[in-house]
Amino acid sequence: MNLADITTVKSILSQPQKIVIVPHKNPDGDAMGACLGLCGFLKGMGQTAHVVSPNDYPKFLKWMPGNDEVVNFEWQPQEAYALLDEATVIFTLDFNDLSRIGSMEAALKDRDADFIMIDHHQQPSDYAKVTYSDVTMSSTCEMIYNFIEFLGQTNSITADIATNLYTGIMTDTGSFKYRSTSSNTHRIVANLIDKGADNMEIHRQVFDTNSPSRLHLLGVALSNMVILPEYRTAYITLTQEELDQYDFKKGDTEGFVNYGLTLEGIIFALIFIENKEEGIIKISLRSVGDFSVNQFAREHFDGGGHDNAAGGKSDLSMQETIDRFNEILKNYKSELNP
């Protein structure tokens, strides 16, 4: 954040505000960690603050401090609209275009409130009064820590705030293994542990609370994996029938796409997941090195994200989507084999 933006935010928060904090649709650990961490911080300043999520999120995130007060726009529209109608400030976290909040987009457009965006994805829109955008950051939670530091308020970080921010940084860095994990990321994490984040318990809550059906679904996903060594690529497919067979719950496929990258020589991994309710194939893309899945998703699958982690979608059937992907991939052989 530049000095002008910091001054603007300090001025806004120097007065009592009614604040709504919004993550992207299908929020992940970074989105919810950032929202809950910021909400706790703002309440500690004496502000009125609420988190309104566009829709539901995985069970393995619902232990986080402050989760019980989150308003689900999809399930609680009346309560959500009441908060938005009163809002004087709206924070949008971990996304940079209002299209990323699905059906909630119409509810946010043309709101007479001060928008503050905090996000680390590429190509931000310009809807916010204050935009804190930095694509070099490991996570939005790291940016929330910086935001609190810019305001000179790190002494206000409680154990609950530290827990939420640690969770988001941990999940968005793949437990600190992705390229965006910097030395400063580790310094921030150390500070969060000092402030009360129990790193062992956080890892247990996120990674060690699987249901038997989720592990069975993982077995199906791995058995469906297709490996294309000539393209250094691996992809997984999961049909709606397979999801239903193993009692799929939101978040159950989280992390499945990364298994492809554990194969020696593979630098590009994808998972294609059928969603009959939305009529789409949801696509998650991951890479290591210089191959940009953000660019790949933007050009071919109406998506985007980061250079090494992105998402997209297809309106075709599963087989048609895979056929199209295989045709597209032929154009990237040299790029995937530099």
Is 0.95 topped by the overall pTM?
no
CB 50 within 8 A of CB 19: yes
- How do residues 38-87 score in pLDDT, each as one tens digit? 999 999 999 999 999 999 999 999 999 999 999 999 999 999 999 999 99
Q: What is the pLDDT of residue 97?
A: 93
Q: Which two three-digit tokens encode residue 199?
A: 């790193």
Q: What is the pLDDT of residue 338?
A: 81
| pLDDT of residue 178 exceeding 90 | no
**Least confident piece of the model among 214-218, 230-234, 249-253, 267-271:** 249-253
Q: With DSSP H G I counted as helix, E B as strand and the rest as coil, what are the percentages for the chain, rounded to 5? A: 45, 20, 35
**Least confident piece of the model among 78-82, 115-119, 121-125, 149-153:** 121-125
Q: What is the pLDDT of residue 203?
A: 97
Q: What is the pLDDT of residue 306?
A: 86
Q: What is the pLDDT of residue 123?
A: 87
What mean pLDDT is predicted for residues 141-161? Answer: 98
Q: What is the pLDDT of residue 110?
A: 81
Cα–Cα dist 138/172, whole Å: 7
Q: Which two three-digit tokens encode residue 158?
A: 């409680």
Q: What is the pLDDT of residue 115?
A: 97
Q: What is the pLDDT of residue 305?
A: 86
**pLDDT confidence tier of residue 157, bands split at 50, 70 and 90:** very high
27 φ, ψ (degrees, to nearest 5): -65, 145
Q: What is the pLDDT of residue 323?
A: 98
Give residue for tokens 């604040």.
Answer: 19
What mean pLDDT is predicted for residues 175-198? Answer: 96
Three-class secondary structure assignment of 15-61: CCCEEEEECCCCCCHHHHHHHHHHHHHHHHCCCEEEEEECCCCCHHH
- How do residues 97-114 score in pLDDT, each as one tens digit? 999 999 999 999 989 999
Q: What is the pLDDT of residue 192?
A: 98
CB 48 within 8 A of CB 17: yes
